[in-house]
Amino acid sequence: MFWKKKKDSKDVAKSRLKLVLTQDRLNCSPDMLEAMKTDILQVIAKYMDFDEKAMDIQISQSQSAEDGKPVLVANIPVLSLRKMK
């Protein structure tokens, strides 16, 4: 509610749990996630330069869908596009 400074701690607990369970249920190993990241970035590097330090790829939870299905979220800051030949 608007007069509350902070979110109720139980709502923080709920959203943290939902995210961690999305990851637990998917049971994606860190090795697999790393390998996938490497492959994705290789493909993207063909088309653009990006900020490797600021980029973030992770499995998260769908914000739109009620069921909270897992989604792969990639946030890759673009520096410049490569010139296509």
Partner 1 sequence: MAQPGKSGSHGGKGQVIVITSGKGGVGKTTTSANLGVGLAVKGKKVVLIDADIGLRNLDVVMGLENRIVYDLVDVIEGHCRLKQALIRDKRYPDLFLLPAAQTRDKDAVSPEQMKKLTASMQEEFDYILVDCPAGIEQGFKNAISGADKAFVVTTPEVSAVRDADRIIGLLEAAEVRDIKLILNRVRIDMVKKGDMMNLEDVTEILAIDVLGVVPDDEAIVVATNRGEPAVTNQSSRAGASFRNITDRIVDPDVPMLELEQEGGFWSKFKKKIGLGA
Residues 64, 48 contacting (CB under 8 angstroms): no
Note whether 26 binds partner 1 by CB under 8 A.
no
Closest approach of Cβ 63 to partner 1, in Å?
Answer: 16
Largest CA distance in the chain: 57
- Taking the complex as a whole, the smallest distance from the CB of residue 77 to partner 1 amounts, in Å, to 32
Q: How many whole angstroms separate alpha carbon 77 and alpha carbon 10? A: 34
Q: Which of 2, 5, 24, 35 binds partner 1 (CB under 8 A)?
A: 24
Residues at the contact surface with partner 1, assessed by CB under 8 A: 8-11, 13-14, 16-18, 20-21, 24-25
